[in-house]
Amino acid sequence: MPPRTANPSARQKQLLEAAYAYALAHGLADLSLRPLAEAIGSSTRVLMFLFGNKDGLVRALLERARTDELELLAVLRRADRPVGLAEAAERVWTWLAVGEHRPLLRLWAEAYARSLVEPDGPWAGFARATVDDWLDVLAACQPRPERDGEDGAARRTLTLAVLRGALLDLLATDDEPRVTAAVHEHLALLRRENRGTA
């Protein structure tokens, strides 16, 4: 039976939120339906009915995680007056560096990596979608001359690469001061470069 996600019921939404909280705490790598169901006050039969199978539930959890990511990115969008690439990256990093966001970011990193090594599983397309989401928002933060210029795509790609690499380093070491200093060094270079081309 396919997952019932087109018009989710209140119970399905409730269980998805509970399963999402569980995934944030425990990750997805060794997710097993029985312990999950027990932890969230449900049963494997109910989860199978609502989400189709384990893969369907994992897909729903990844979509839920992507919703949180997109909410962060939506804050940066200002079509009337783009904030600029350096300012956008600084705001993103400030959010990424907050300790309480680590569970979501670990889940993101796990899903990103799994989608690279299991491209046909429930993770399919997650890494590509998240890159596209971030590049799209960073493009919207660039003033039009920079965004549409010859190296506009390269600048936002480099900025995304720095943020993603810094995030992985932060998750691995928890050394926020060192990693934040490195991000700020990159942003200072980016701002100097922008002043030089203005």
Q: Residue 160 above 90 pLDDT?
A: yes
Binning pLDDT at 50, 70 and 90, where does residue 198 land?
A: low
* Count of beta carbons in the 10 Å neighbourhood of residue 149: 14
Number of domains in the chain: 1
Predicted TM-score (pTM) of the model is 0.79
For the chain, counts of helices (H) and of strands (E) = 10, 0
Q: Residue 60 domain-assigned?
A: no
Domain span including residue 149: 65-197
Identify whether 112 is part of a domain.
yes
Burial class, 91, CB count within 10 angstroms (exposed 0-12 / middle 13-18 / buried 19+): middle
Q: What is the pLDDT of residues 24-61, one digit of tens each?
A: 888 887 788 899 999 999 999 999 999 988 888 988 98
What are residue 181's phi and psi, to 5 degrees? -60, -40
Q: What is the predicted pLDDT for the residue at 31?
A: 82
Query: Crossing angle, helix 152-173 and helix 176-197, to 10 degrees?
Result: 170
Q: Quote the crossing angle between the two packed helices 54-76 and 10-26, to the nearest 10°.
A: 80
Alpha-helix runs per DSSP H in 27-53? 33-39, 44-51
Per DSSP, 3 falls in state: -
Identity of the amino acid at 175: D
Residue 48 lies in a domain: no
Q: Considering the domain boundaries, does residue 45 fall inside one? A: no
Residue 81 lies in a domain: yes
- Residue 6 belongs to a domain: no
71 found inside a domain? yes
160 domain residue, yes or no: yes
